[in-house]
Structure 1
Amino acid sequence: MNNGRFSGTRTYIFANWPRFVLLYLGIVVALIVIGVSAMRGWLSFIPMTTAVLLILIYFIATGIWEARQRYDFDGITPHHVLFDMGQLPATERFAYVDLGLQTPAIGLSRRLTTGRIIVIDIYNPQWTVSPWLVRWRAQQPPPPNDPRLSWREGNLGLLPLPDESINTIMLCHVAGEFWQEGDRMTLLQEAFRILKPRGQLLLAESVRSQTNWLIRGVTGFSLPTADYWHKRLEQAGYRVRSHKNLGGLSYCIRAQKPTPAEAQQLSFTLEF
């Protein structure tokens, strides 16, 4: 496992290489057009092509910046923010639901002493259709042999833990990778099943924001809003306790599973 300063950024770029290659080729073509236009006196082409060139450079730079913020240790690292929001001690045993990225879970394990992370890989190409996940997973070496990490296979409808068996579950940019809303709800409800009463779900997702619009362009408008995730969590039975907006790049939520008495009281209040 490469633990260098920019290892997360490098992995992200390799996983998204078609996007970066197309942007790079676009820059090369734009430079050629500008050079040819200058030599042949086609001055009207230069301003327009220069504008295209700047846009292409901008999207390469913002893509690299996003990767560094999400996956390198000196970025915003939403998985570490979730860890802090949950006030997890170094002796905690918790579940980290993953899509085979490994890097965040390994980073969190370094904050534990006698604690343990149960990493549950729920990747399925029929449910998570992003091609970059396939390429990221292909770059991963075998999981490290670390007593603080336990690696398991699961799926969004069956997390391999008994009912009400764990205090904390972390979903860091996982639920949003499932393109069907029903699949997202299935995952949230399955996490609810294995949580103990008063247990907490720590969730981070990309949401519709000015930052994500500036990074992703028009595709940023397709992201769910922060309110969307609040409503989905409440629909699944959780009570949202706190949230944190990480500069518009990532939105973190701490939600709790109520006790039966609290759930009954909440139901009574809503009916009233």
Structure 2
Amino acid sequence: MELKRRKFQGVLNILSFNRHFYVIGLMVLAFTLAALLFFKVPNFWIWIVAAAFLYGLIMPLVISAYVYDFSGYYDFKWLKKLHLNDQKPKQIVNINAGFDETSFILKSNFPEATLKVFDFYNAKQHTELAIVRARKVSMVYPDTLQIKSDEIPLEDQSVDIIFLLSAAHEIRTHKEKVAFLRECHRICKPNGNIITVEHLRDFPNFFAFTIGFTHFFSKKVWEKAFQEAGFSSFEESKFTPFMSIFTSRP
């Protein structure tokens, strides 16, 4: 399987999966400008409104290009800094929400380990149009298994590392999040790790995505969910100002 990503693949994915937002945004902008011109609003305010709309449409693409295409996210150099290979893991798990860009790369980083891939996407619960579109073009790792978020078909304490890479935020309710993380806790070995990578609902991501940052959750929400799920540790490191890496142990 070819692991090399196409140029600007990350930002083009964002634009493709969320194109409805951009169509609606441009329509609202056009209607708003027409209304302002009709009511003869001073040009200063027209420029302010146009700039605000364009900022909200363009800045998410700029930041997405930075994070997903130029920062080395898919080179996984950030993963090497965690020294997980030093533990010589035998069993690793990657769990996604219907869009998988990482399993083949993970396997190349842990060639001696057995990798199992699970997809917790549920059409009735996870209804965002972007996910539906993403699933149509997602690579599927061999033997990927569809699961319920609260039921992972593995034995207790059988996994060395669990990866949740830009996926867990698709679980929208706190109750479901905790139930999902409890399952992760159950299958994780006592000395194992769960690696979660997420944008946060914080100022840098508000700067990047404006109101779109509400799609993510704050560090406080994640920490509370991990604690309620039984994890004994919760450590954060930053990968760019816009993404956090949470490392937790049972």
Q: What TM bracket, shorter-length normalisation?
A: 0.7 to 0.9
Q: 1:218 to 1:203 in 2, by over 3 A?
A: same
TM-score when normalising by structure 2: 0.83
Q: Residue in 1 aligned with 2:73?
A: 77
The 2-side partners of 1:66 and 1:250 are apart by 11
Task: Report percent identity of matched pairs.
Answer: 17
Corresponding position: 1:64 with 2:61:
yes
Give the Cα–Cα distance (whole angstroms) in 2 for the partners of residues 241 and 110 of structure 1: 27
Q: Quick check: 1:244–1:251 contact (8 Å CA) kept in 2?
A: yes
Aligned equivalents of 2:93 and 2:54: distance in 1? 39
SS in 1 for 2:84: coil
- What is the rounded CA distance, in whole Å, between the counterparts of 1:241 and 1:164 in structure 2? 19
Unaligned stretches of 5+ residues in structure 2? none
Cα distance in structure 2, aligned partners of 1:254 and 1:194: 16
Further displaced range: 247-256 or 195-204? 247-256
Where do 1:80-229 residues align within 5 Å? 80=76, 83-84=79-80, 86-89=82-85, 92=89, 93-140=91-138, 143=140, 150-218=143-211, 220=213, 223-229=216-222
| Amino acid aligned to 2:50 | L
Worse-superposed segment, 116-125 or 25-34: 25-34
Structure 1 residues 211-220 or 194-203, which shifts more? 211-220
Q: Which stretch shifts more, 84-93 or 196-205?
A: 84-93
Which protein is bigger by CA-based radius of gyration? Answer: 1
Determine if contact 2:95/2:164 at 8 Å carries over to the other structure.
yes
CA displacement at 1:181 relative to structure 2: 0.9
Checking the alignment, whether the CA contact within 8 Å between 2:67 and 2:240 is kept in structure 1 is no
The change in CA–CA distance for 1:231 and 1:140 in structure 2 (over 3 A counts) is closer
C-alpha deviations, 1:144-183, integer Å up to 9, x for none?
6xxxx65222121111221111111011232221121110
CA deviations on 1:85-105 (whole Å, 9 max, x unpaired) are 542329644101101211132
For structure 1, list consecutive stretches of 5 or more residues without a partner in the other structure: 258-272
Q: TM-score, normalised by structure 1?
A: 0.77
What root-mean-square deviation, in Å, do the aligned CA atoms of Structure 1 and Structure 2 show?
A: 3.1
The residue aligned with 2:24 is 22
Following superposition, the deviation at residue 58 of structure 1 comes to: 1.0
Deviation of 1:199 after TM superposition, in Å, equals 0.9
Distance 1:136 1:167 in 2: 29
* 1:256 equivalent in alignment to 2:249: yes
- Give the letter for the 2:61 counterpart: I
CA–CA separation in structure 1 for the residues paired with 2:128 and 2:71 = 23
Per-residue Cα deviation, 1:167-213 (whole angstroms, up to 9, x for no partner): 11011232221121110001100001111111111112232211122
Q: Would you say how many aligned residue pairs link Structure 1 and Structure 2?
A: 246
- Alpha-carbon distance change, 121 to 236 in structure 1, aligned in 2, over 3 angstroms: same
Distance in 2 (CA, whole Å) between partners of 1:57 and 1:224 is 25
Equivalent residues in 2 for 1:226-241, closer than 5 Å = 226-240=219-233
